Amino acid sequence: MAGTPLCGLLMLTSYPALYLLMTGSVPAMRWMTTTIVIALLAAACSSAGTDTEATTTIAAVTSTTESGSPAVPPQIADYEVQSVEVGDRILLLAIADNPSLRQQGLQGVTDLEDLDGMLFFWRHDGDAFWMKDTLIPLDIVWFNEDGTYKDRASMVPCTDDPCPTYAPADLDFRFAIEAPPGTLAWIGPDTVITYSD
């Protein structure tokens, strides 16, 4: 058995526990949970001598910063980042919830890094959007005050003066999500956003 002495101890003490669970009147779910834990311990112990492989796998899966927080573009490093429930998914979004953050938006950003997009939030009716100084095309989806779907649009970078604006037929909305083209295509009329400040 390769690995540390702790791994060996865990393995030796886990087999009797498994035997007791199998012969007693313990529910099947508890037995299954114990089996999974033992399997995970065995896998961890058998690969304890290959730290390089484990580190490589972890690095490929996540791209967080050294502090463990998600990587964000430097242009929006001061924005709060939150996991937001949108329909049946959780999106990692930078939060633009005041006039100066909403005005800056994703201007100057070329790569969202670990972010799925940006959430714009108003405590009153929303504002129209424009793409001035925005370097990448974006899709936008607007949501009503109760979180229900309102409308969507595809926006392109603007070099004109003045730039065209994007908004639903009326400005009676409270939320908008901007993201790279196509990444919000799954959002539809039944999608609801859940967010509170």
What tens digit of pLDDT does each residue of 9-66 get?
333 333 333 333 333 433 333 333 333 434 444 444 444 444 433 322 222 233 344 5
Residue 190 has pLDDT above 60, yes or no: yes
Q: All domains of the chain, ordered by start, with CATH?
A: 5-61 (no CATH), 74-194 (2.60.120.1140)
At 162 the three-state DSSP class reads coil
pLDDT average, residue stretch 179-189: 97
Nearest to 7 by CA among 54, 42, 36, 53: 42
Give yes or no for residue 170 having a pLDDT over 60.
Answer: yes
pLDDT in tens, 63-104: 344 557 899 999 999 999 999 999 999 999 999 999 999 999
* Distance from C-alpha of 177 to C-alpha of 132, rounded to nearest angstrom: 17
| Tens-digit pLDDT profile for residues 114-164 | 999 999 999 999 999 999 999 999 999 999 999 999 999 999 999 888 999
Please check whether residue 65 is in contact with residue 91, taking contact to mean a CB–CB distance below 8 angstroms. Answer: no
Let me know the angle formed at the C-alpha of 156 by 150 and 159, rounded to the nearest 5 degrees.
Answer: 135
Half-sphere exposure of 154 (CA within 13 A, CB side): 7
- State the pLDDT at residue 196: 86
- The pLDDT score that the predictor gives to residue 9 is 35
